Structure 1
Amino acid sequence: MSDGLNEYRTARVAEILSDFRTLQYYIAAAPVDPPNMDDYYTEGWAALRQCALDGQHILNTAADITVPRATGGPDEQAKAELRQVHLDAYARRHEGQKIYLRQAAAQRWIEWREQILMGGRPHSGNASQLRGCDQQMRAELATVTDEAIYAELQASDMGMGRWITEDPSLRAVQRWVRSRRR
């Protein structure tokens, strides 16, 4: 017996995949190499390179296509498959948002650092300001938590009037992520 919601499930998966695709464009567009190679190993540039690697990893991670055999006919099987794809897409979007927010913090770090250096190089006179810049980025990165991202995405989806009834829980997303770690 079908519950008649597969159309909603299909639309929800399409919305989430569209969001993820947009995030991937932003992630791929972020710089990874500093204009001055002396800055290559600084915290912000290292964070941007890690974000690029994480973004590539989430793209290269194969989808879990193991769907249990559902009883009740083709509509129930489609429901089971859509739920599996929904979790996969939702978790990818979640991880993409996490990467995007980390990149944004690192890019702000670059801007702050450039303002401090004013076209010059680090020296003892600006070392304290540069340390403060590093600390600010670390503080921002510490706020990029699974809980915060999950709540932010959920609030955004609700604000757009999206059908979120069957969205996976944060724990399900975290399990998906853990199962795909390198």
Structure 2
Amino acid sequence: MSDGLNDARAMRVAEIMTDFRNLQHYLVQLRAAPTAEEYYLEGYSLLRQCTTDAQAILQAPFGGSSGSGSGDPEQEKHQLRTIITDAAVRRFQCQRAYLLANAGLRWMNSRNSVLRGQKPNAGHLGALQQADATLRNASFLPSITDAYVESTLRSQDAAQGKWLNEDPSLAQIQHILMSRR
């Protein structure tokens, strides 16, 4: 027996996919032009990894079966739930990459403000080490946990009054991601 929520489910798919598209759009626009000497620095490596992750998320196959539009409300319910789960997992992955990319961009901006177009020299060493330490330890990277990523998404959705009843839990998302490895 249909529960009458398929329209809400379809709307939720559209909302999640819009968020996913916006995150992907941001991630593909990341541009950093390190010199050969800077290429392997942690912040630039992080930015490259975020871009690579975004591309991999797009290339991953759909996590469910594609059903035919038979018009059966129960089949539609199952299909929409599957799509919500797959889309939510992808959005979660993109949100994590987005948060990491922001940390990498802050590092890059700190580095650029220290160097001001000059080549690194001994006079810059302390400030550059501080920027590296901020990226690595004291600041943002350690706080980007799965729980934090999920919390940012759920808080944003709740603040916008979105229907979250069938969004997957963090444990479900983690289980799906582990099974894909």
TM > 0.5 between the two? yes
Mapped to 2, the partners of 1:136 and 1:17 lie a distance apart of 33
Mapped to 2, the partners of 1:180 and 1:23 lie a distance apart of 21
Please tell me the residue identity of whatever aligns with 2:146.
Answer: D
Please tell me the residue identity of whatever aligns with 2:126.
Answer: S
State the match for 2:126 in structure 1: 128
Percent identity over the alignment is 40
Report SS of the residue matched to 1:120: coil
Mapped to 2, the partners of 1:136 and 1:40 lie a distance apart of 19
Report deviation, 1:125. Answer: 2.2
State the match for 1:20 in structure 2: 20
Mapped contact 1:67–1:80 kept (Cα < 8 A): no
State the match for 1:100 in structure 2: 98
Mapped to 2, the partners of 1:39 and 1:135 lie a distance apart of 16
Report how many residues are paired.
176
Report SS of the residue matched to 2:175: helix
Counterparts of residues 59-78 of structure 1 (less than 5 Å) = 59-66=58-65, 74-78=72-76
Q: Structure 1 stretches (4+) deviating beyond 4 angstroms?
A: none
Report SS of the residue matched to 1:179: helix
State the match for 1:53 in structure 2: 52
State the match for 1:2 in structure 2: 2
Please tell me the residue identity of whatever aligns with 2:76.
Answer: A
Please, what TM-score do these two structures have when normalized by structure 2? 0.92
**What RMSD over aligned residues (CA atoms) do the two structures have, in Å?**
1.6
Mapped to 1, the partners of 2:65 and 2:32 lie a distance apart of 36
Mapped to 1, the partners of 2:164 and 2:122 lie a distance apart of 53
Mapped to 2, the partners of 1:56 and 1:179 lie a distance apart of 19
Report deviation, 1:115. Answer: 1.1
Mapped contact 1:61–1:180 kept (Cα < 8 A): no
1:74-114 deviation line (CA, Å, top 9, x unaligned): 21111111111100000100110100111111011111001
Please tell me the residue identity of whatever aligns with 1:89.
Answer: A
State the match for 2:30 in structure 1: 30
Q: Which runs of 5+ in 2 are unaligned?
A: none
State the match for 1:80 in structure 2: 78
Mapped contact 2:64–2:86 kept (Cα < 8 A): no
Mapped to 2, the partners of 1:61 and 1:178 lie a distance apart of 14
Mapped contact 1:105–1:141 kept (Cα < 8 A): yes
Mapped contact 1:150–1:170 kept (Cα < 8 A): yes
Report deviation, 1:65. Answer: 2.0
